[in-house]
Amino acid sequence: MKSNNSKLRAVSLSKILGTLVLLIFSYVFYPIQSINAALANDDTKGRVVLPRSMPAGAVLENDAKGPVNTIYFGGLSALGNQWQVTECYGWSGTWTRRPNTNTFDAFWRHTNGTSASDVIDLKSWNTTTNEVVLYRRNLNGYYKAFYNAGSRSLVNGTASWYPAGQGWSAIIR
């Protein structure tokens, strides 16, 4: 009996390990491969799947075009290469997208002459609601705003570290 139980455990363990490897591959390697292929081909039919880490409370739903955390690569051009940003308390800045990425190098200047810089990652763009979510690395926090295609701007922005009622906006260039 012991040998049958050992064989059963070995088979079950190998099936579990195989399933885990498949899950890891499909959730880690495949999205990276998809991003690299889309970037290499610069193909408007390809889509870039953004990293799966999302802000607390974010809900991923499907719409007619696919998961809301999916951006069609050709659509990224709508978000431009440079943003002129106005934030609360006298801060204004320029966020410049690194070529063929979802990463921005951001520089700000305060009205008192103080300056700051950081790196910001575009985490998601819900093309149904036009909500854009960005992650600011040094502050470990999230920006949210709504893309306005008519004015090529981001409006009604909030940030996880802002006091209630404070906001930001950007003009896309």
Check whether residue 126 and residue 64 sit in a common domain.
Answer: yes
pLDDT given for residue 78 in this prediction = 87
Check whether residue 146 and residue 93 sit in a common domain.
Answer: yes
Check: CB of residue 17 under 8 Å from CB of residue 26.
Answer: no
Residue 50 within any structural domain of the chain: no
DSSP 8-state code for residue 25: I
Q: Are strands 141-148 and 103-110 parallel, antiparallel or unpaired?
A: unpaired
Q: Cβ of 148: how many Cβ atoms within 10 Å?
A: 14
- Could you tell me how far CA 58 lies from the centroid of its own chain? 12
Q: Is the pTM of this model over 0.95?
A: no
Q: Judging by beta carbons within 10 Å of its beta carbon (0-12, 13-18, 19+), is residue 9 exposed, middle or buried? A: exposed
Check whether residue 164 and residue 124 sit in a common domain.
Answer: yes
CATH assignment of the domain containing 130: 2.40.128
Check whether residue 37 and residue 59 sit in a common domain.
Answer: no
Residue 66 within any structural domain of the chain: yes
Closest among 123, 128, 114 to 141, alpha carbons compared: 123
Number of domains in the chain: 2
Residue 46 within any structural domain of the chain: no
Q: What is the pLDDT of the chain when averaged over all its residues? A: 74
Name the band, by pLDDT with cuts 50, 70 and 90, for residue 41. very low
Residue 18 within any structural domain of the chain: yes
Name the band, by pLDDT with cuts 50, 70 and 90, for residue 76. confident
What is the spatial distance between Cα 52 and Cα 46, in angstroms, rounded to a whole number? 18
Say if residue 11's pLDDT is above 70.
Answer: no
Say if residue 4's pLDDT is above 50.
Answer: yes
Name the band, by pLDDT with cuts 50, 70 and 90, for residue 17. very low
Check whether residue 88 and residue 113 sit in a common domain.
Answer: yes
Phi, psi of 96 (to 5 degrees): -115, 125
Residue 147 within any structural domain of the chain: yes
Euclidean distance between the first and the last CA atom of the chain, given in angstroms as a whole number: 72
- Quote the domain boundaries for residue 19: 1-41
Percent of the chain with pLDDT over 90: 53
Name the band, by pLDDT with cuts 50, 70 and 90, for residue 123. very high
